[in-house]
Amino acid sequence: MNIVCLDLEGVLVPEIWVGLAEITGVDAFRATTRDIPDYDELMTMRLAEMDRQGFGLPDIEKVVARLEPLEGARVFLDGLRARYQVVILSDTFYEFARPLMAQLGWPTLFCHTLQVEQGGRIGGYTIRLPDHKRRTVAALRDLNFRTVAAGDSYNDTGMLAEADAGIFFRPPESIAAEFPHFPVTRDYDALRQAVDTAFDLR
């Protein structure tokens, strides 16, 4: 059985925190794992900035409500799901992702949860599992799945390395250069072909 593991933000949907930056004008929210590879450091910065700005979960929900999947993402995902099992592995949060999952046809999503206080303040977050992307791929391989993983950033490289084949999708040039053993794709047709080729060669 073949299974594809995809990152969410930057692969199928826009970066949610970048959307928050564009709407609020707070540039600190533009940072992603492309800029700060350590996820705990990144989230600590984000939540501290939210407190400084007086923002809570309702502000994030307003951003997500205005977002749509990347152009062509739904067609790509539907085509992929017709041929393979697909799991989305993301460092986003279920509280953010629900509207986007509806637009993508409710694919399977493994991600994290927020600790939301009365009034909507985000007091913290609960990681589903440390290094969950890589460990999920490893568990799937232990279940005798053949795996292909695709992502765009530092926090995806563990799962790309763990999979039978790892593929970059629209990574920054600096990250692609740092991990030259992962092939780079720039559009959904190329990514689909790379997934098919990876499975056909095994």
Q: Both tokens of residue 190? A: 């190329």
Under 8 Å between Cβ of 73 and 13: yes
Tokens 């799937």 belong to which residue?
A: 140
By three-state DSSP, how is residue 125 classified?
strand
What distance in Å separates the CA atoms of residue 135 and residue 55, rounded to the nearest whole number?
Answer: 33
Cα atoms in the Cβ-side hemisphere of radius 13 Å centred on 129: 12
Known catalytic residue at 22: no
From 9, 91, 156, 164, active-site residue: 9
Known catalytic residue at 7: yes
What secondary structure letter does DSSP report for 84? S
From 7, 91, 162, 164, active-site residue: 7
59, with CB counted inside 10 A (0-12, 13-18, 19+), is middle
What distance in Å separates the CA atoms of residue 112 and residue 42, rounded to the nearest whole number?
Answer: 15
Beta bridge partners of 86: 4
What radius of gyration, in Å, describes the C-alpha atoms of the chain? 17
Which residues are designated catalytic?
7, 9
